[in-house]
Amino acid sequence: MSKRLTFKRRNRKILPKFISLILVLILGFGTVLFMFYNQNYQGRDNGERVTLTIPEGASLATISRILKENGVIRSERAFLFAAKLEKAYQNMKSGTHTLTKDMPYDKIFEVLSNSAQDNGETVKVTIPEGFELRQIADRLEEKGLINKEVFYDVMENEEFDFFVDIPRRENRFEGYLFPETYIFKKDAGEKYIIQTMLSQFEKVFNEEYRKRAQELGMTVDQVVTLASIIEREALGDEDRDLISSVFHNRLKVKSPEYLQYLQSCATIQYILKERKPVISVADTIIDSPYNTYMYKGLPIGPISSPGEKAIRAALYPAQSDYYFFKLNQDNKHVFSKTYQEHQRVK
């Protein structure tokens, strides 16, 4: 008998066993997957009601996390798989929804696909560019949308779906609650309002802006900090880019040393919590990490919520040799290259 014939016969014996083993493994894996999926899909629904808020523009991963945190589902992974398999995500709506703990997935899909609970009352609120966080809180409370104490507590202690890793500091989200006109349900809640405004910032600060920040060697937080100062210093569209160029020039200069201080009056006004028309010498020596007369470079964080034009100006400054700017008697900014020129402005 030839070796080739023996090899063929041996193959005929081994191949069926190998195929059987593969089928057993596939069947076993499929059974485990089905049991895991089915167990999570069906849920036990203990009847305990949960009211939660899905932010505007929330991703499926964010929705899954919110459901898991509130006990509506047991497994984020299983829910993600089911939602994608049944193409349920595209029908999910933002807003406030009432579900139950350990709820079956088909019921969750049904609830989230319907319009959020509505008490019939909405509130329109406009947050202007350059508003500080305290002013935003005042405006929202005046509109009956928040309790300020709860608002600050939620900002400090809750987790949010946001792409910027903001350093822990006082007024954590200063600069990031995007200035815009919003329409909120009267009972939207503090967390939903904050998340909606953060999501709007994320939409505006797009991939182009993120890449540009990297080109400049700046973090998003540094860009927003600079943009917030520009927002407060600029009179309008005509001078944002030039003001940005002054600050960029000062951030890059090596000497003389005094030019490394941004010396922005807006940062002093932020410390004082009032917009004094004239800053005194005493004001400029207040020891604060926001004081750009005392400390070189950018302050510790943003001083207001900048609009997109200010953000763009921070990222794309005009090309200039200016290191100074000052309001003249006609209430217009005059830009200068030297301190001597700056002193002559009337």
Mean pLDDT, rounded, for 219-248: 96
Model pLDDT for residues 105-138, shown as the tens digit of each residue: 888 888 888 765 555 578 999 999 999 999 999 9
Whether the model clears a pTM of 0.75, i.e. scores above it, the answer is no
Task: Name the residue among 144, 103, 98 with its Cα closest to residue 118.
Answer: 98
Mean pLDDT, rounded, for 64-71: 90
> Is it the case that residue 227 has pLDDT exceeding 90?
yes
> Is it the case that residue 169 has pLDDT exceeding 90?
no
Question: Residue 7's pLDDT is what?
Answer: 46
Please tell me what DSSP assigns to residue 205: S
Q: Which of 98-107, 163-172, 224-233, 326-335 has the highest mean predicted lDDT (pLDDT)? A: 224-233
Where is pLDDT greater, at 26 or 184? 184
> Is it the case that residue 74 has pLDDT exceeding 70?
yes
End-to-end CA distance of the chain: 112
Mean pLDDT, rounded, for 285-294: 96
Q: Which residues contact 65 (CB under 8 A, 6 or more apart)?
A: 76, 161
Which run of H or of E encompasses 174?
Answer: none
% of the chain exceeding 70 in pLDDT = 85
Question: Residue 166's pLDDT is what?
Answer: 84
Q: State the Cα–Cα distance between residues 229 and 248, nearest whole angstrom.
A: 12
Whose tokens are 């400390």? That residue is 295
Question: Residue 282's pLDDT is what?
Answer: 95
Q: State the Cα–Cα distance between residues 155 and 197, nearest whole angstrom.
A: 12
Decide if 51 contacts 39 (C-beta within 8 A).
no
> Is it the case that residue 35 has pLDDT exceeding 70?
no
Where is pLDDT greater, at 274 or 221? 221
Taking every pair of C-alpha atoms in the chain, what is the biggest distance, in angstroms? Answer: 112
Q: Which residues contact 193 (CB under 8 A, 6 or more apart)?
A: 140, 145, 146, 151, 182, 184
Q: State the Cα–Cα distance between residues 278 and 281, nearest whole angstrom.
A: 10
* 88 three-state secondary structure: coil
> Is it the case that residue 219 has pLDDT exceeding 70?
yes
Mean pLDDT, rounded, for 246-270: 95
List the domains of the chain with CATH numbers.
49-113 (3.30.1490.480), 122-204 (no CATH), 207-343 (no CATH)
Q: State the Cα–Cα distance between residues 189 and 150, nearest whole angstrom.
A: 10
Of 39-43, 175-179, 268-272, 336-340, where does mean pLDDT reach its minimum?
Answer: 39-43
Task: Name the residue among 57, 99, 108 with its Cα closest to residue 79.
Answer: 108
Where is pLDDT greater, at 59 or 213? 213
> Is it the case that residue 90 has pLDDT exceeding 60?
yes
Task: Name the residue among 179, 195, 199 with its Cα closest to residue 308.
Answer: 179
